[in-house]
Amino acid sequence: SQQGEEDPQALSIQEGENATMNCSYKTSINNLQWYRQNSGRGLVHLILIRSNEREKHSGRLRVTLDTSKKSSSLLITASRAADTASYFCATDGGSNYKLTFGKGTLLTVNP
Amino acid sequence: ETGVTQTPRHLVMGMTNKKSLKCEQHLGHNAMYWYKQSAKKPLELMFVYNFKEQTENNSVPSRFSPECPNSSHLFLHLHTLQPEDSALYLCASSQDTGGGYNEQFFGPGTRLTVL
């Protein structure tokens, strides 16, 4: 399976702290994407990193990709209570559109 | 708002009912997707349409029947569902399915409960 696996399954931190979530996958990819989902809502695209990129930033988000280890990490700096959500990585397995999602990391940021 | 709307937001139906889920995107995209999200399971891709043509059916039971009359609208027709079909059904769209590196824009989902 080319399914991404997020780690940890759940993470609880205090506001202002940094949150790091990891994703591992099994097959080669063209790109890896991170999405956020607030409880019972749709997913929101956060960032896309291509297989030839190693690091990407967007605001308080920093994503790294290590294709040799088939892993990625998402760092959220200076977390806020509004960052409380589930975070998913999605890999394309070379298809560009057929995304495979992991089970997600539930992040809770306590005020 | 992501530019993708879904109706209804909540649906309760019996196993003998027939209902339809509707998705509409206002982004000018050409590809649309149906996903199923069940508790404690990864998001599952069900169907993909690109320029109104179905390009993916991920071994979905025939009690789920998709329809894509144009690039902006996508329906999921439901009939004789089972309780295990209860889930959040998410619609998404992207520019298209080729050319690479397409982010997908998701609707808020329809929470379906089958009694």
Q: What pLDDT score was predicted for residue A13?
A: 96
Residue A48's φ and ψ, nearest 5 degrees, are -125, 135
Q: Mean pLDDT across the stretch B13-31?
A: 94
Q: Could you list the pLDDT tens digit for every one of the 111 residues in chain A?
A: 446 788 899 999 999 999 999 999 998 888 899 999 998 788 999 999 999 999 999 999 999 999 999 999 999 999 999 999 999 999 987 766 788 898 899 999 999
Q: What pLDDT score was predicted for residue B55?
A: 87
Query: From CA A79, how far away is CA A47, in angstroms rounded?
Result: 17
Q: What pLDDT score was predicted for residue A3?
A: 63
The token pair that represents A71 in the structure block: 């892993």
Which of A43, A48, A88 faces B101 most closely, judged by CB atoms? A48
Residues of A in contact with B99 (CB under 8 A): 96
| pLDDT > 90? residue B97 | no
Q: Check CB contact under 8 Å for B104 and A40.
A: no
**Residue B99 pLDDT level (bands cut at 50, 70, 90):** low
Instruction: Please give the interface size between A and B, counted as residue pairs whose CB atoms are below 8 Å apart.
Output: 64
Residues 64-93 of A with CB under 8 A from B: 88
Q: Check CB contact under 8 Å for B100 and A96.
A: yes
Q: Mean pLDDT across the stretch B8-19?
A: 93
Which of A3, A45, A96 faces B105 most closely, judged by CB atoms? A45
| pLDDT > 70? residue B36 | yes
**Residue B39 pLDDT level (bands cut at 50, 70, 90):** confident
Residues 6+ positions from A69 with CB-CB distance below 8 Å: A24
Check if the beta carbon of residue B29 is closer than 8 Å to that of residue B96.
yes
Digit-coded pLDDT (tens) for B49-96: 998 888 888 899 999 999 999 999 999 999 999 999 999 999 999 988
Q: What pLDDT score was predicted for residue A1?
A: 43
Which carries the bigger pLDDT value, residue A39 or residue B108?
Answer: B108
**Residue from B113, B13, B20, B31 nearest B64 by CA:** B20
| pLDDT > 50? residue B12 | yes
Residues 6+ positions from A20 with CB-CB distance below 8 Å: A73, A74, A75, A76
Q: What pLDDT score was predicted for residue A2?
A: 46
